[in-house]
Amino acid sequence: MSTWSQLSFQDSASPLMEELIMFHDHAMLVLTLVTTLVGYIILTMFSNKFIDRFLLEGHLIEVIWTVIPAFLLIFIALPSLHLLYLLDEYDNPSLTIKSMGHQWYWSYEYSDFLDIEFDSYMIPSKDLEDNQFRLIEVDNRMIVPMNTYVRILVSSTDVIHSWTVPALSVKADAIPGRLNQLTFLVNRPGLFFGQCSEICGANHSFMPIVVESISMNSFLNWINNFE
């Protein structure tokens, strides 16, 4: 989860998020080099007196400032295309969960096993325990097994919401009458927090998302003991 004064990404909890962070670092490196070069050229122009008002053509410089940006764009485009294909949906997920957005809470349905369905409300500040976080803790977490491909179907019963968990690199709009889906894999145990990312009304800020990643055996025990 994000903490005070954090400027960078959250720690990744999925292979896809790791790829996204690496691509961000790759693109920022290129942007830093280009900005440094352009800034250096601008500063040198202020400090010298080289003036050529009668230059009518310069094929060499035109080739240079065309070829170098083209190579830089290719340098960025290739890993971007690779990541674009990684973002494509996985065809054979092991678990499907349906998430419905409401004003202002989420409901989850595990239809693969039994008719397991529950609502997930934010815990009020006065009911929080000492180890819980204000405004982002819920009474019923979405439980998923780690190292397992999970497909989540997202929709809404009233207005447009958005199911978003940054650490898992997932974000899908919950639109009434439409069904969006996305696939993710959690590669470590833990709690991963998200929030509705579409302004949906007065309590938009108070419908958090908590995904709990546990081992497969613990997940099966949770399914068997679900009441």
Q: Within 10 A of 55 (CB to CB), how many other CB atoms are there?
A: 8
The answer to whether 91 and 192 are in contact (CB under 8 A) is no
pTM over 0.75: yes
70-81 tens-digit pLDDT: 999 999 999 888
Fold entry, domain 15-88? Helix Hairpins (1.10.287)
Which top CATH class is 95-225? Answer: mainly beta
> Does the pLDDT at position 58 exceed 80?
no
164-206 tens-digit pLDDT: 998 888 899 999 999 998 888 998 898 999 999 999 889 898 9
**According to CATH, where is 2.60.40.420 located in the chain?**
95-225
As a whole number, the mean pLDDT across the chain is 87
> Does the pLDDT at position 113 exceed 80?
no
> Does the pLDDT at position 55 exceed 70?
no
Please give the pLDDT value at position 130. Answer: 82
Name the band, by pLDDT with cuts 50, 70 and 90, for residue 1: low
Please give the pLDDT value at position 15. Answer: 86
* Tokens 């009441």 sit on residue: 227
CA separation for the pair 202, 222 (Å, rounded): 34
Which residues, at least 6 apart from 226, have a Cβ–Cβ distance to it below 8 Å? Answer: 114, 116
* Mean pLDDT, residues 21-38 taken together: 92
**According to CATH, where is 1.10.287.90 located in the chain?**
15-88
Could you tell me which residues are beta bridge partners of residue 219? none
What percent of the chain stands above pLDDT 90? 44
> Does the pLDDT at position 98 exceed 90?
yes
Please give the pLDDT value at position 119. Answer: 92
121-138 tens-digit pLDDT: 999 988 888 888 888 899
CA separation for the pair 131, 190 (Å, rounded): 14
Please give the pLDDT value at position 53. Answer: 63
CA separation for the pair 216, 222 (Å, rounded): 10
Q: Within 10 A of 53 (CB to CB), how many other CB atoms are there?
A: 4
